[in-house]
Amino acid sequence: MDDKKRRQSMILYIIAAIVVYIVLSTVLFPNMQTRQQVVEVSYTQVLDDLNAEDVDKISYDNSDLSIEYTKTGEENTVYTSTAMSGAQESLQDAIRESGAEQTNTVQQDNSLMTYMLLMYGLPILVFLLFGWWLNRRMKKAAGDDGPSMNFGGGFGMGGGLGKSGARIVASKDIGVTFKDVAGQEEAKESLKEVVDFLENPKRYEAIGAKLPRGALLVGPPGTGKTLLAKATAGEAHVPFFSISGSEFVEMFVGRGAAKVRDLFKQANEKAPCIVFIDEIDTIGKKRDGGGFSGNDEREQTLNQLLTEMDGFDNHKGIVVLAATNRPDSLDPALLRPGRFDRRIAVVLPDLTGRKAILQLHAKDVKTEPGIDLDAIARATPGASGADLANIINEGALRAVRMHRTRATQEDFEESVEVVIAGQQRKSTVLSEHEKQVVSYHEIGHAIVAARQKGSAPVTKITIIPRTSGALGYTMQVEEDEKFLTTKQEVLDKLTVYCGGRAAEELIFNEMTTGAANDIEQATKLARNMVTRFGMTEEFGMVALGTVQNAYLNQDTSLTCAPGTAERVDAVVVELLREAHDRALQILRENKFKLHELARYLQKKETITGDEFMTLLTRENPLMPKQPMA
């Protein structure tokens, strides 16, 4: 029974208990709500009440001469007294003359113990019995038929909070192997040894080699870390335990540690198997030196995980795989040999890997003959496996929207733009002046890129607004994938970033907010030139910044004195000013083409790279020839 079902059962249990309590207190014991008050009076007062005919019911006991009676209209009050010795006959005469009803007993309950027992004891007993029954039911559903009441993980704390909650997939139900993973050949090679050990442990034991206790999969989001872990279990034909690090974190201190114990207990019973902990940085963060940190729930969970990984017998074939995109935040004790022995990088795929991933996902999509997945792979540098799968799916969805039975090359090319820049914003209608400004802005980028040898070729220019906020964009795609970038290529890229704003200033003599993203990207690149790449004469090969979260946003923080930081800012400003001046110079030399191409783009809204280069290089008798840079 999973946590959701346990919570639902406990909610029903509490509701049922409240209903039982209300029924017992209002239906079965109505008199408990209105207990009678006992008042002691004198014998003379008894006779006066009888003579006044105010007595409703009265009882007299000869053995102890006790009198108990109630008055008319005062049923909730019982009056008691003691008769005088020898006055029995006169009392009986007074009762008969008053017309009061004489009974053997008068209804009352002056026993507080009986009241407390019936009012509170019985509902609590029913509550406990019902909880015991529900606890046994949940334990049977979870596969634990023990006879004792488990107050630690069952009824006592809400039912099953000590259970790990891991999803267990039998080996025959995994359905994923290494052939279903593309673009991660190095990671697969590292994991194949784990698979071989699980399949043939005696080969390694014969030579004295030990099975790695754990392997840490690190890489950016969407690169297939979870898929690789599942494929490893599918390849080795062993059960697969999957749980997220956040599922160990509980409101009650100690519950996370209990879940860790339960997880490894289950794994030990089903060995050989693979235990996969996703986003392990949730519980595996570095421990601080605070005096009270030992009581932290996350730290107790981490300590238990460290103990369990040290304690289990790896001869049984239990391998722990974990995934994270923040390895720098993990505790060193978790990364030492004997726990996570291996660190496997699951990086963004290269050009060959992207093509393989696209082919893998395109197998399930009906396409027109002649689909060029190489072009899609070249147009998506830096895309993860999840991005590429989304591109194929978006292409298929577009084909359905266009009422076609097969996806075309155009569908996949458009899906690249959807993933990168978002859907077209058809509701956004630009004025003619705004379309003109955006046209000159994008053509400014394109001309600056085309007139520099180190820039990537322009493949598409559009002024159709996108849901990402872009009013237009210029797409450049490298012909071959590059892993190194020269200083000149970085300067050329800075100049391309400045081309849009330079075109606005040159033609309209004004600035717009359309260059905001260009300025942000250019500033980041120029700062990296100074602080990380060592591409400036003033600072040379000095690292002035460090990268944080290398697999996430790659933010850079300065590691220098405040005075040095001011000089860094000055150098960055100078680099951007020089790039802006170069962009202005290139556009002044190609002003005629800038006008011609901007008008053409404004009219067509989208042009291809081939159209752009044809118009840019076409000779025109009205303008002088411009030499190519």
Write phi, then psi, for 60 (nearest 5 degrees).
Answer: -135, 130
Q: Which residues contact 622 (CB under 8 A, 6 or more apart)?
A: 592
Give the span between the Cα atoms of 83 and 61, in whole angstroms. 9
Give the bridge partners for 262, in sequence order.
Answer: none
* β-strands 473-476, 458-462 pairing: antiparallel
H or E stretch at 80: strand 74-82
* Inter-residue contact 460 to 475 (CB < 8 Å): yes
* Inter-residue contact 158 to 255 (CB < 8 Å): no
Burial class (CB in 10 A: 0-12, 13-18, 19+), 445: buried
In this structure, what token pair is assigned to residue 289? 């030196």
In the DSSP assignment, the letter for residue 118 is I
Give the span between the Cα atoms of 204 and 527, in whole angstroms. 51
Give the span between the Cα atoms of 64 and 425, in whole angstroms. 98
Q: Which residue among 442, 505, 537, 619 is the active-site one?
A: 442
Give the span between the Cα atoms of 177 and 199, in whole angstroms. 14
* Inter-residue contact 550 to 539 (CB < 8 Å): no
Looking up tokens 């673009």 gives 183
Give the span between the Cα atoms of 493 and 484, in whole angstroms. 14
Cα distances from 558 to residues 529, 542, 544, 548, 619, in angstroms, run 13, 12, 6, 11, 50
**Catalytic residue status for 442:** yes
Residues forming the active site: 442
